């Protein structure tokens, strides 16, 4: 599996969203809970968008250069 520039960002967004959800569960203030949950949902939505832009494994195979037989350039 290749590493793409968006993959670390995707993991970071999802990690932060998970921490915000835990923080919302631990918070006693309803206003803070709502804020944390809304922020987590926004980060998860952004992660979805990033995931949709990552090339799939099938696409990566087609982008790689294909080897061909050498051409005889003798004149």
Task: Confirm if 54 and 6 have CB atoms less than 8 A apart.
Answer: yes
For 45-61, write each residue's pLDDT tens digit: 999 998 888 777 655 55
Asked whether the predicted pLDDT for residue 23 surpasses 90, the reply is yes
Give this prediction's pTM.
0.64
Which residues neighbour 2 within 8 Å (Cβ) at sequence distance 6 or greater? 60
Hunting for tokens 């990033």 — which residue is that? 50
Euclidean distance between CA atoms 56 and 67, whole angstroms = 22
**Dihedral, CA of residue 25, residue 31, residue 32 and residue 38, to nearest 10:** 80
């Amino acid at each position: 599996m290749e590493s793409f520039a968006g993959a670390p960002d995707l993991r970071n967004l999802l990690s932060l969203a998970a921490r915000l959800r835990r923080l919302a569960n631990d918070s006693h203030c309803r206003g803070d809970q709502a804020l944390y949950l809304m922020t987590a949902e926004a980060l998860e939505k952004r992660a979805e968008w990033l995931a949709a832009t990552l090339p799939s494994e099938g696409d990566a195979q087609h982008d790689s250069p294909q080897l061909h037989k050498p051409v005889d350039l003798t004149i």
